[in-house]
């Protein structure tokens, strides 16, 4: 599952990414590492799921009342159908990949994601995404609570504050998942 690795956050032209996070993502080579994992899954006929966050114009479908959403509204960010909810070319979904658009941090909330995983007999999920301390954490917790085996690829994830990323990967995510690096994981795939 590729979580929130969408243009708004990780592209230098994104309304959020242009403030420095896109450079961090590029320096960490997140797109390249995540694309390699996605290609390995496709080569083995394993499902690849993309999750993005997006809202209708005017944010009529927004759920959260917290300041993080107010910040996005002020920027006019993450509007469905606009550049920000798309994915970078190097990581774009292929035909046959599932794309789930969410309106909350948790991609299972008010989406068909869990039903789709269960209908397709998926018992293990592998997570890559941004931000580690938000969507990756939320997905790992909900996935674990739903009886899924969860793996987090820590080198395919990042947060604007990499101390939060480190704390998540060292102290929190191991409670809900197996934390691994993409190279190690691909050797076992």
Selection from 72, 151, 81, 147 nearest residue 104 by Cα: 72
Rounded to 5 degrees, φ, ψ at 132 are -60, -45
Residue 24 has a pLDDT of 97
Model confidence, pTM? 0.96
User: What is the SS3 assignment for 12?
Assistant: coil
Residue 150 has a pLDDT of 98
CA gyration radius, the chain: 15
Per residue of the chain (189 residues), give pLDDT as tens: 999 999 999 999 999 999 999 999 999 999 999 999 999 999 999 999 999 999 999 999 998 888 888 889 999 999 999 999 999 999 999 999 999 999 999 999 999 999 999 999 999 999 999 999 999 999 999 999 999 999 999 999 999 999 999 999 999 999 999 999 999 999 998
Residue 71 has a pLDDT of 87
Residue 162: which residues within 8 A CB-CB, separation 6 or more? 24
């Amino acid at each position: 599952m590729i979580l929130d690795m969408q243009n708004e956050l990780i592209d230098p032209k994104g309304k959020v990414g242009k403030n420095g996070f896109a450079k961090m993502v590029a320096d960490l080579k997140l797109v390249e590492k995540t694309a390699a994992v996605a290609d390995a899954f496709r080569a083995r006929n394993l499902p690849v799921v993309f999750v993005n966050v997006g809202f209708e114009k005017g944010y009529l479908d927004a759920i959260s009342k917290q300041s993080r959403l107010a910040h996005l509204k002020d920027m006019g960010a993450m509007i469905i159908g606009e550049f920000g909810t798309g994915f970078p070319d190097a990581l774009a979904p292929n035909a046959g990949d599932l794309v789930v658009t969410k309106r909350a941090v948790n991609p299972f909330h008010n989406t068909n994601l869990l039903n789709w995983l269960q209908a397709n007999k998926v018992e293990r999920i592998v997570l890559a995404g941004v931000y580690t301390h938000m969507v990756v954490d939320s997905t790992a917790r909900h996935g674990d609570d739903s009886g899924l085996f969860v793996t987090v690829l820590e080198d395919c994830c990042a947060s604007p504050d990499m101390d939060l990323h480190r704390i998540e990967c060292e102290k929190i995510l191991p409670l809900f998942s197996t934390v691994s690096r993409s190279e190690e994981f691909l050797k076992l795939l």
